[in-house]
Amino acid sequence: MTTDVKEVFPTNGDAPYGEVRSDKREAVYTVSKTLDGYALFKVTADKGPIPKELSGVYTSTNLALKDINFYLTYVEKSPTIRVKENREAYKKSKEDRAKKES
């Protein structure tokens, strides 16, 4: 089984932080350091709340990224993504019908 993760990349030189984008969700999940002074990491999203499966803190960025990838492997597509795909498919079929009629 493969994940739909588009990119995993460091955000700052040798800093071990990362961002994950997926075809299943519009949110970009970011791994960042917690601000409590400990060497712990958390997952944040640029859109919407964090899923309960990704809430909490991690002891390394690799564990956080692994957890994000696992979550994105088994989660269903968001309703927003499904609507976009349906609109694109409808638009394409409408264009195909218009070409056949001409």
Query: By percentage, how much of the chain surpasses pLDDT 70?
Result: 84
Per-residue model confidence (pLDDT) at position 59? 92
The tally of domains found in the chain comes to: 1
Distances (CA, A) of 101 to 13, 90, 91, 92: 55, 17, 15, 14
> Does 49 fall in a domain?
yes
> Does 82 fall in a domain?
no
Higher pLDDT: 6 or 83? It is 83
> Does 93 fall in a domain?
no
Sheet holding 57-58, edge to edge: 5-12, 15-22, 29-33, 41-45, 57-58
Strands (DSSP E) along 46-100, which ranges? Answer: 57-58
> Does 60 fall in a domain?
yes
Higher pLDDT: 6 or 68? It is 68
> Does 98 fall in a domain?
no
Residues 86, 92: Cα–Cα separation, whole Å: 10
Predicted TM-score (pTM) of the model is 0.74
> Does 96 fall in a domain?
no
* Sequence-distant (≥ 6) Cβ neighbours of residue 59 within 8 angstroms: 39, 40, 41
Higher pLDDT: 49 or 12? It is 49
Host domain of residue 18: 5-76
The DSSP H or E segment spanning 6 is strand 5-12
pLDDT(43) > 80: yes
Of 51, 43, 61, give the one whose Cα is nearest residue 25. 51
